[in-house]
Amino acid sequence: MGRNKYFRSNSGRLTMSQQHHRMTMLHPQFHLRSLRSNIVQWQGEIQPMPLADTYLVQVTYQQHKAPRISILAPRLQLPPGEKRIPHTFKGDYLCLYYADYGEWTARMYVADMIVPWISLWLAYYETWLAIGKWLGGGIEHSLTEQK
């Protein structure tokens, strides 16, 4: 008897249907843009802290790859004198975790891990804009290092 692919793939990784169901339950402000067998994309709003801007965020997750996070609006800004937004990849995709430490795997839910990290990243970003210092820690990387 074959296993229903909705529940788990043979590798133990979560299916895109599972990912979408969890996102719907935990973050109803995120709306489905695309759902296929190996990729899912949502858009939704996040306000990282009171009095902060509300950001329109796009999350694209393809199985076996790192989730790609884009801030659609308002556009991310550079303060005077800065050349780069900290903890971003080329194209201003957010760097939320260090892949080599196994902080994210395909056995985790985007809704449980990635969405809270987006909110935290945005809080650090807003603080960086206000005081000129990135308080989120992290490891420096090149613009093209996303795995």
pLDDT at 81 (0 to 100): 85
CA–CA dist 9, 1 (Å, integer): 14
pLDDT at 142 (0 to 100): 57
CATH of residue 43's domain is 3.10.110
pLDDT at 146 (0 to 100): 52
> Is 147's pLDDT higher than 90?
no
Question: pLDDT, tens digit, for every residue of 1-43?
Answer: 344 444 444 457 889 999 999 999 999 999 999 998 889 999 9
The pTM assigned to this predicted structure is: 0.85
22 within a domain of the structure (yes/no): yes
10 within a domain of the structure (yes/no): no
CA–CA dist 56, 51 (Å, integer): 16
* DSSP count for the chain of H helices, then E strands: 2, 6
144 within a domain of the structure (yes/no): no
- Count of domains observed in the chain: 1
Please name which of 24, 14, 19, 26 lies closest in space to residue 119, comparing C-alpha atoms: 26
73 three-state secondary structure: strand
Strands (E), 2-146: 31-35, 39-46, 55-62, 68-73, 88-89, 93-94
What's the mean pLDDT when you consider all of the chain? 86
Enclosing domain of residue 47: 16-131
Q: Which of 13-17, 58-62, 120-124 has the lowest mean pLDDT?
A: 13-17
93 within a domain of the structure (yes/no): yes
145 within a domain of the structure (yes/no): no
81 within a domain of the structure (yes/no): yes
111 within a domain of the structure (yes/no): yes
